[in-house]
Chain A
Amino acid sequence: DGGITQSPKYLFRKEGQNVTLSCEQNLNHDAMYWYRQDPGQGLRLIYYSQIVNDFQKGDIAEGYSVSREKKESFPLTVTSAQKNPTAFYLCASSTLAGHSREYGYTFGSGTRLTVV
């Protein structure tokens, strides 16, 4: 079955450490997205990519980095520059069906990152 897989489900980071969250999809979707979810804040966009080797910053990109070397994969690195990384991270993908159609996203099951 096609879907989007995030790993790990839980991740612990020490102060000053970089960590990478994995996101893989086999839906043949062109676009992929990373969101951060904090209590009472909704989902805030970190980065998104509409094509391989290209990506755009979202509203809260500082302290994060991404790569898009393959269509199926969009890993997110939380760097030591991100001062408050404890949050729930959601990856999503979508088709780029043209201007006349938007079908929304398929989401992964999320990664809970905690600083210890």
Chain B
Amino acid sequence: AQTVTQSQPEMSVQEAETVTLSCTYDTSENNYYLFWYKQPPSRQMILVIRQEAYKQQNATENRFSVNFQKAAKSFSLKISDSQLGDTAMYFCAFKQAGTALIFGKGTTLSVSS
């Protein structure tokens, strides 16, 4: 069975700094998709970024980028120029076509001024 591990329960960063959230996963499949979701205090889940496993190029969305290492089964999220609005819980998730998303336990990120 696939599993997703987020080893950092909590992290903190100052405004304008860069922070990296870690995620590892376990699968024997070759084709899959990886996601980072953000859950702010409102508890609304928001898709931050997605990565297709067959693409070597790391995905980027504005200040958010990933470091996808397929052989190491690692999928970290880098947030550049952190803002107060980035304060949230971040979930890493794994999916194969036709199945449901599997989530990690989350990392709570606090951004302070």
Contacts and interface: CB of A to CB of B under 8 A. Distances in A.
Contacts of A23: none
Contacts, number: 56
B33 interface: yes
B43 A104 contact: no
Interface stretch (B62-70, B78-86, B99-107): B99-107
Chain A interface category by residue count: 20 to 34
Contact of A40 (B35, B44, B45, B105): B105
A38 B50 CA distance: 24
B25 interface: no
A43 interface: yes
A40 B9 contact: yes
Chain B interface category by residue count: 20 to 34
Nearest to A45: B100
Mostly, the B contact residues are loop
Contacts of B105: 40-42
B35 to A, nearest CB: 5
Contacts of A98: 97
B100 A42 contact: no
B47 interface: yes
A104 B35 CA distance: 7
Interface in A41-55: 41-45, 48, 50
Contacts of B75: none
Contacts of B95: 102, 104
Interface in A92-110: 92, 96, 98-100, 102-105, 107, 109-110
Interface string B85-111: 000000101010110111111100000
A109 B44 contact: yes
Interface of B: 6, 9, 31, 33, 35, 37, 42-45, 47, 50, 52, 91, 93, 95, 97-98, 100-106
Given A45-B100, A104-B35, A109-B43, 14 more contacts: A33-B100, A40-B9, A42-B91, A42-B105, A45-B102, A58-B100, A88-B43, A90-B45, A99-B97, A102-B50, A104-B50, A105-B45, A109-B42, A110-B44
